[in-house]
Structure 1
Amino acid sequence: MRPSLSVLLGLFVLTLATAAAVPPQSGFLDSYPPLQPDARHPGSFIYLAPGGSLKGLTKVQIDPILVWYSKDSTYQGIDPNELSAVTENLRKALVKHLEPTYPVVDTAGPDVLHLRIAITNVMAEKKKRGILGYTPVGFVIGAAKNAATAGPNINIASATLEVELLDGSGKRIAVAIDPLLGADIQKENLTWSDIGKVLDAAGTRLRGRMDSDNLHP
């Protein structure tokens, strides 16, 4: 059975937020194709390459997730530990909800769907914090005692998720650009606990979409 590409693209849609126009180009993608609104997911935009197919792609390879700061961010201070906390915990959430049914592998192959992912339009905020307010190396969201109240320097309230799907040969299959937070999420003063829930929800939605699309005929 030939998998539905439009259905799989929905696994990257992390919200039902609305948007009036395609988000500005961050520069993450080498080239930006003509994107169209995803009718089933308001606020999201997709591009399907002519003749693109997911047939035979039964495994997933996820490149290191990148973070691109918005050009409109007046403060450019970057805490590398916070970046790692977001990207590593997002990857863990994706892997947790995909495996073991959908193996996540480290090497490319003819049966491997290659994903390039970036969290873009991220803002930075300067905050006055004591020594206990800084994010430690190897921080795991949800493990810290102050996760429910601690506020990070990184601001993802207006962030978007850019995803490029490539086949085993490196040929582009599709592109999806989605808002990271849903309309039901309080965007002001996000805590690490809030961010953890957003990232875990991303993994849950991805797994649900994978289950609805027959990648293993």
Structure 2
Amino acid sequence: MKRRLQSPAVLPGLTVALMFALTLALTFTCSAARADGLIPPDVRLVPVVQFPGTTGYIAPDYDTRRAALHSVYLAPIEIFLAPDSPYKGIEPTQMAALTSAFADILRDEVLNSANVVDTPQPDSMVVQIALTDVRLAKRSFRPRDITPVGIVINGVKRVAGISKVSLTTMTVQALGLSPDGETLLFAINNPPPPGDAEPEPVRLDEVPALLGKKAKRLQSAFVAIRDHH
């Protein structure tokens, strides 16, 4: 199975600031609008018995290939909204906060023993991560919101960064690719454990606190796949 990393197109005639703004908006809008996930459908995932619901793949010669790679490049994390998500109006800044927080946790808690580089090198394994099957809900309008007290309360919450948008479900998918982004080394589809999928909606501003658990479970699933291939 081959998968080529895409590079951003160059748009001549735009200022650097405008290019950045457009690229950011288009990247987040397109990623959030897709619902097919990160792992291509032709990848043959098999159940990971230690983690009910989790499936994975690892290349038969993974150990040999990994021994030849001396660094890891963590590609920008993507978000894929579920097509039936009750709310789809997540803002680019909110998405950036989630993906940035998750990337920091992955570097600090999962890839802390690896040589993580900022740009892919000839000896880098390229790791792609996505938050998929994401369902969001937004707090509905309440009559109190238009009262003087409600306006003040909402203003205080807004300043404090308290989100009206909540997360109800989220799966983590991961791909490990060769330095040229062509050869698949591993793939993991890691949903929440059955019966443990966010039982209560979690406000977006609270989600980063839960991502450490997601990162550790992803790491454990990878170890299980690697040790039993």
| TM-score under structure 1 length normalisation | 0.66
Describe the SS at the equivalent of 1:158: strand
Q: 1:48 to 1:186 in 2, by over 3 A?
A: closer
- Residues 209 and 178 from structure 1, CA distance in 2 versus in 1: closer, same or farther, beyond 3 angstroms? closer
| Residues paired across the two proteins, number | 177
Mapped to 1, the partners of 2:79 and 2:37 lie a distance apart of: 11
Partner residue, 1:95: 107
Structure 1 pair 190–159 and aligned structure 2 pair: CA distance change class (3 A): same
**Corresponding letter in the other structure for 1:40:** Q
Query: How far apart, CA to CA, are the structure 2 residues paired with 1:206 and 1:76?
Result: 26
Gaps of 5+ in 2: 1-34, 146-153
Match of 2:80 in 1: 68
Give the aligned residue type for 2:101: N
More helix by share: 2
Matches within 5 A, 1:156-175: 157-170=168-181, 171-175=183-187
Corresponding position of 1:178: 190
What TM-score, normalized by structure 2, do the two folds share? Answer: 0.63
Deviations 1:112-146 (A, max 9, x none): 22111110111222224734444x7xxxxxxx6x7
Alignment of 1:15-164 (within 5 A): 26-53=36-63, 54-98=66-110, 101-127=113-139, 128=141, 130-134=154-158, 150-155=162-167, 157-164=168-175
Cα distance change of structure 1 residues 163 and 51 upon mapping to structure 2, 3 Å threshold: same
- Structure 1: gaps (5+ residues): 1-24, 137-143
Identify the structure with bigger relative contact order (alpha carbons < 8 Å, sequence gap 6+). 1
Q: Secondary structure at the match of 1:60?
A: strand
The one-letter amino acid of 2:97's match is A
For 2:200, give the aligned amino acid.
E
**Amino acid in structure 2 at the alignment position of 1:108:** P
* C-alpha contact 1:82 1:154 (8 A) present in aligned 2: no
Find the structure with the greater CA-based Rg: 2
Is the alpha carbon distance of 1:205 and 1:110 closer, same or farther for their aligned partners in structure 2, counting shifts above 3 Å?
farther
For residues 185 and 211 of structure 1, do their structure 2 counterparts lie closer, same or farther at Cα, with a shift above 3 Å needed? Answer: closer
How far off is 1:209 after superposition? 8.2
Q: CA RMSD in A?
A: 3.4
